[in-house]
Structure 1
């Protein structure tokens, strides 16, 4: 009864600030968050035997990595059992599952190669988001794909993108949930280029050709994602923030996707969200935790994560912002990384929903800035932990105190026996 009594007490305290905790928890349970498949196997996938390449890198060699589709799905199931709230599945094209003796290169992949993922998602009442995989492939020429001056190379990757549009339509039709299809490439140069505009004009044309593939705009939500730089492309990336934002703004139906690790260290995506929502009906996010650069650390309940969630809630954006996680850490237990990141984002969302936003906005609009500062500081110490514990209980998942015990047990009974 102690936990229940603490929750009731906390609920009363929040009510004194005008916050309906019951409504906040109910709304949080309904907000879908996409869970990225690539945390479970270090972004390797199942369509090649080579290393991870293309401006990204996973570090660490923690034991128990998933090496087959069955193991990856098993690990994802365990992670899901530890996560409160509503989930979607987020796939990369490199995770196609082929029958024995079957193979299709990326320009020839079909919906049937993702049938097992559709079955997985439908059994768990999850929608599916999708990403063409423009990395870790021998048809990347001189580090370039959609921006390549080599027409044969560019054509291959355009056809890959078109195939992914068709697969995204299939996902939406099968699950009944719109599919967010995100276009990101690591195209760029290690050192200062002699031509910055040419690659971007080719990139623009390539994306336009991809999106000429017929699709239902109510079912497929194409996005373009920017990046500052990556390993081996430190000087220049074709898909810069200005490029992708301008592309989305000038191509109807295309959404901007912001990854909060893909900006300069002094930039914050939390401030960009309300700016974009002034102009775009919908936007998309990849939520990560950058350290120094786009290192894709596990999402934690830190300040910027909280601010991102606050802006989504403040702007009444839960139905306008597609939320997805994107990180990969091979230095710790991968199932723990999945579940911890998801739980941290759920904490941020629920915390944001338990903020007296209307009262704080009123103080700002009335220029009562001293009082606003006082109130903003006061809400930081409200008993949110008791609300979070009750939320986990209602969602049927373990508390933070019990979380590691579940991970340790699964690691010993399943992951470490893989060799």
Structure 2
């Protein structure tokens, strides 16, 4: 290991020790916190269904950077490389459209066998898998409704798709020994003002009840539901609103998913974590960066990302909150996007673990708000970067921005050859 990195780490340990922080314990905890990387950054949310078309359902990907993955094999190759740039525990979040099959498979007919390649890859790489039904970019979702559709046959198609996905999710959990979090998000809504807002929500509730009726061991599978404010072409009404899903998750004792881009521009999910934790046992986060609402930009080490990490760590919620990412930028190197976003989420978690939280809590309890503010600001300048560099070095991950050199070589040797 580089002597400068070791020396800087030793000095950081000493500085943090003065504040009563055990850096080695923080580092050990950091290395065990998994972040679920999203497969859809690698191919612009197209998937590998035969005859896959363009995105629909309020989702858009912009940009045409060369090197997009065109098959599951290429996507796994890119993921292998990206994960080698990121320290600590990792998972992979798959959508149903990333199946592997020799012939077209209807979405309500997908089976665990169509994901054996992913399970084999996960075993080799010692990562867990999470899952999502794909209720968009399909002929039977083109009018803006799926699980809340007034047509019984169309609604049943999507119910059966979600049921099939639950079995695949459980297969992941059983095969890998770690529960798969299966997140249900549907684009259901209307472009203009509806007259009846209640009936679609009642149908959505009934559809979800049918989907989760079969009990599956939580050791293998967890159900999650995700709200959204609106989607492109669905601006005036979203069936699955925040109020709907918070009530549903709490009343059905399932996982609530909070997506950083799915709320009003003045709302942040960091403030919702502690509130929701009082009513739901588990939460799933989709950490993203909304530049103009739900634009799904690459995650930065910005105030909100740090606030999310602080809320989880300060409140002792690491065992109740599943951290996933959700962005898709096709204007830059897609592998670099994974590395930038995931490393930033990891940095935020490490910084949160190194915060002098107990001192801050004591100041707050005693009413010393001056000291609290001063200490919170001073903590931003503590030498967490030295601990981060050490965390990367001990796992053989590139330190600082040196990972970018590796990405440049990968782009030249692999991505540019894809045309």
Is the shorter-chain TM-score for this pair beyond 0.5, marking a shared fold? yes
Within-5 A mapping of 1:144-159: 144-159=145-160
Are 2:25 and 1:2 aligned? no
- State the 1:129 CA deviation: 0.5
**Superimposed CA distance per residue, residues 312-331 of structure 1 (whole angstroms, 9 cap, x where no aligned partner):** 00011111111111110000
1:278 deviates by: 2.1
Write out per-residue CA displacement over residues 109-144 of structure 1, whole angstroms, 9 at most, x where no aligned residue: 000000100001011111110000000111115111
Cα distance, 1:73 vs structure 2? 0.6
1:69 is matched with: 72
Task: Answer whether contact 2:171 2:220 (CA < 8 A) is retained.
Answer: no
CA distance in 2, matches of 1:292, 1:52: 19
Secondary structure, counterpart of 1:146 in structure 2:
coil
**Map of 1:53 onto structure 2:** 56
Tell me which residue corresponds to 2:266: 266
Tell me the residue number matched to 1:97. 100
Deviations 1:161-189 (A, max 9, x none): 10011111111110010010100011111
Structure 2 unaligned spans of 5+: none
1:350-393 CA-partner distances (Å, limit 9, x unpaired): 00000011110111011111111111111111122111111111
User: Which residue number corresponds to residue 203 of structure 1?
Assistant: 204
Contact 1:191 1:234 in 2 (8 A): yes
SS state at 1:332 partner: coil
| Counterpart residue number, 1:81 | 84
Distance 1:312 1:117 in 2: 30
- Superposition TM-score, scaled by structure 1 size: 0.98
Contact kept? 2:86, 2:339, Cα under 8 Å: yes
* Runs of 4+ more than 6 Å apart: none
TM-score by length of 2: 0.98
Note if 1:129 corresponds to 2:127. Answer: no
The gaps in structure 1 that reach 5 residues or longer are none
1:385 maps to 2:385 = yes
- In the alignment, the residues of structure 2 paired with residue 324 and residue 55 of structure 1 have an alpha-carbon distance, to the nearest angstrom, of 20
Query: Using the alignment, how far apart are the partners of 2:267 and 2:20 within structure 1?
Result: 32
Q: Does structure 2 retain, via aligned residues, the 8 Å contact 1:141–1:153?
A: no
For structure 1, which segment, 386-395 or 308-317, has the greater mean C-alpha deviation from structure 2 after superposition? 386-395
Superposed counterparts of 1:311-330, under 5 Å: 311-330=311-330
- The whole-number CA distance in structure 2 between the counterparts of 1:384 and 1:342 is 17
| Equivalent residues in 2 for 1:112-261, closer than 5 Å | 112-252=113-253, 254-261=254-261
Residue 278 (structure 1) aligned with residue 282 (structure 2):
no
CA positional deviation for 1:2: 2.1
- Check if 1:364 corresponds to 2:364: yes
1:387 partner SS: helix
CA offset digits 1:173-218 (Å, max 9, x no partner) = 1001001010001111111111111111111111111111342233
Distance 1:142 1:377 in 2: 50
**1:54-85 residue CA offsets vs partner (Å, 9 max, x unmatched):** 10100000001001111111011110110111
Per-residue CA deviation, residues 244-287 of structure 1 (Å, 9 max, x unaligned), is 000001113x1111011111111111111111122322111111
Residue of structure 1 in register with 2:30 after alignment: 28
Q: Distance between the aligned counterparts of 1:218 and 1:26, measured in 2? A: 24
The whole-number CA distance in structure 1 between the counterparts of 2:315 and 2:104 is 46
Q: Secondary structure at the match of 1:66?
A: coil
Picking from 33, 37, 40, the partner of 1:38 is 40
Q: Please tell me whether the aligned partners of residues 141 and 148 of structure 1 are also in contact (alpha carbons under 8 angstroms).
A: no
Aligned residues: 416
